[in-house]
Structure formats: structure tokens, C-alpha cells
Amino acid sequence: RTGINAENGEYQTFQHYFIQINLRMKALILVGGFGTRLRPLTLSLPKPLVEFCNKPTVVHQIEALVEAGVTHVILGVGYRADIMETELKKHEERLGIRITLSYEDEPLGTAGPLALARQELLEHKDKPFFVLNADVVCAYPFRTMLDFHQKHGCEGTICVTRVEEPSRYGVVVYADDGKIDRFVEKPTTFVSNKINAGLYLFNTTILERIELKPTSIEKKIFPQMCKEGELFAMELPGFWMDVGQPKDFIIGASLYLNHCARSKPELLSKHEACLGNVLVDESAVIGKDCQIGPDVVIGPGCVIEDGACIQRSTIMKGSKVGSHSWISNSIVGWRCRVGKWVRMEGVSVLGEDVVIKDELYVNGGRILPHKEIGASVPNPAIIM
């Protein structure tokens, strides 16, 4: 079996080592700006370091890239780069790869970061490189992308995913072989139900198209590549979600846990209190007569007291949920204290170190870090 040892990051087989030595590919992860959509969590940590299913989103991505033969990951960052650098140093050493940060003095959009990282991306001119949106979670089929890209032999591959309501998005229209014909922004009549999934694979020649200035790769670069017949679409297998805002973060966790149930069931909890797909860190403590699940993530060092009920929610590292509290469709940030007989729902989000007193109701509340809440929040509100 090929893979990364979850404990120490060592290569599990010679096959994986062989992939690493022979491909030696690069990847650029588009981290971007301030993560305002995911506040209050991003007031404490840069968005890529916020734990999604007990692991920072960017680490999910980096580990999948390493599996596909990437040995150098570049992060295009413009916000709190010092924290990013310190945290990712640990993973650089664990995985035996190189992780560097490319600093943006001004927001460069989705194409400008490629120009900024041009020198590093051109170190291996004959090898394609991956580009990822940092908010995307999926099964990351990078090896499949490589095979598809090699077969069509053109400059770019983008992953697309199927959506139920294409009129909300810009859609991708392409032929049976994957060659993209055009992009249509929020179509009023049906032309396609496939949208850009934010995962790309490019030959280094794409860098000749991009200047070092704020540029949208979707609006400026892709249409030209499309006209020249140089851009292909590969439909993404399995689940996909952009987890850049709380509602989608919660949905994305449910999709990820369902994916784990199918492909990595050993990761899910077998605790007697758990119903459906639940991920519980081994250091967490769950009391008597609790109901945990479905679709719940409980982080390291958490304490769930007797009789608590949690569903479709994430409880992050070091938090405590009081006895007989009920939490649904919510995110509890790091080191929070939720009192006894509390009810939380409606995509409520607690920032770091928030205290909710006993017997309160929180509906759609976004509570900023280090606050103590002594009154109910019956309607969606930001509590500063």
C-alpha cells in the first residue's frame, strides 16, 4: 500500500519513494488574503491553518500532493506569513519535502501569484506543476490528473465538479475528450452543470502568459488558452467543497466523513456514544449517555460531559461541552467553554476561548474570540 505514515510521515513503500525520486514536482497553493468569510476562526489563525476534520486544510492538501510525487510546495501568501512559516516547518520536516512561502505585497488575484513564483516554478521547466485553491477539500486525485494531462498533451488541465444549481456559478462547457469550448458566467438556460473546482495542472509555458500584476486566471488567462485549444477539463471524482465560509465548512466536514466511511473507515470513531460518521481524537473524553453524530468532529483534548448531544458540528482542540447541552450545525473554536444545558444551532461559530454560560440559547451567533456570553443570542448576530 502506498501512503504516508500518519504518525511520522515516513514513506510506507518503495513505490512511494520511487514516485518521489522520479517526479520531483512542484505545486503552488493560492492562500490569498484575510479569510474574512471564515471569521471569527481566522481572527486567531490564518485560514489554511484552521483545522478541518482535525487537520489544517493546507496539510490535507500537502499530504495528497506528496503522495503524487510533489517535493516542493509553494504557498502564495499575503497575510500572517510568520505564523504560516513556523507551523509548516514541522510538516516540511515530517514529510521530507520543501515548503516555501511566496509573499504578496499586494493582492495579486489568482494568476499573479504564478508570476511571483515564476523563478521557483521554472526550476524544472520540463515538468508540469499543480495549482490549488487553499479552500478546496476533496479526494485530491492528483495522480489521475497527471495521467489525464499527459494523455491530452496540451498546456493546462482544470478539474471540474458537478453542481445541482449551475445558474449560481460560472460553468465550463467542454467536449467529450475534455477540450474546453467556453466558459459561461451564471447561465440563465442550461448549457452545463460543471464548474471550476479550483485544482489545476499546468505546463510551465503558461508562465509566459502571465504578468506580475493583479490578474484573474479565470477571466484573463483561461479564455485565451481555451481559444488556442490548450485547456482541458477533467471531471473530479467523489466529493468536493469550498470550505471558505462556516456553512460550507460544516457541509464539507459531512462530505469528508462520508468519504472516510467509504475509503478509510478505520479513521472513524467506534465509541458507543457515536452515531453515524464521527471523527474523535484519541485524547478527547466523552462522558456517559452522550449522543455524538452524525457528522461530528471532536478535536484533541476536548471534554464532552454527560448527556451532551452533538450533531453536524466541529468541536476544536481543548474545548469543553457541558452536560446535557445540545449543539447542531455549529463550530466551536479552540479552548471554548460551553456551559450546561446550552442549545446551539443555526451555523453558530465560537471564536477562540469563548465562554457560553449555562442554560443559554445561541442561534446563528458569530462570537469573537475571548468573549464571555451571559445572555441568549436568539437571532443570528455578530457578538463583539
Report the catalytic residues. 186
How many beta carbons lie within 10 A of that of residue 39, not counting itself?
A: 19
d(CA 66, CA 82): 23
d(CA 267, CA 286): 17
Query: DSSP code of 276?
Result: S
d(CA 306, CA 354): 21
Side-chain-facing half-sphere of 105: CA atoms under 13 Å: 3
How many beta carbons lie within 10 A of that of residue 34, not counting itself?
A: 15
Query: Cα torsion at 277, 281, 285, 290 (round to 10°)?
Result: -10
End-to-end CA distance of the chain: 49
Let me know if 22 is exposed, middle or buried by CB neighbors in 10 A (0-12, 13-18, 19+): exposed
d(CA 68, CA 62): 10
Decide if 197 contacts 160 (C-beta within 8 A). Answer: yes
SS3 133: strand
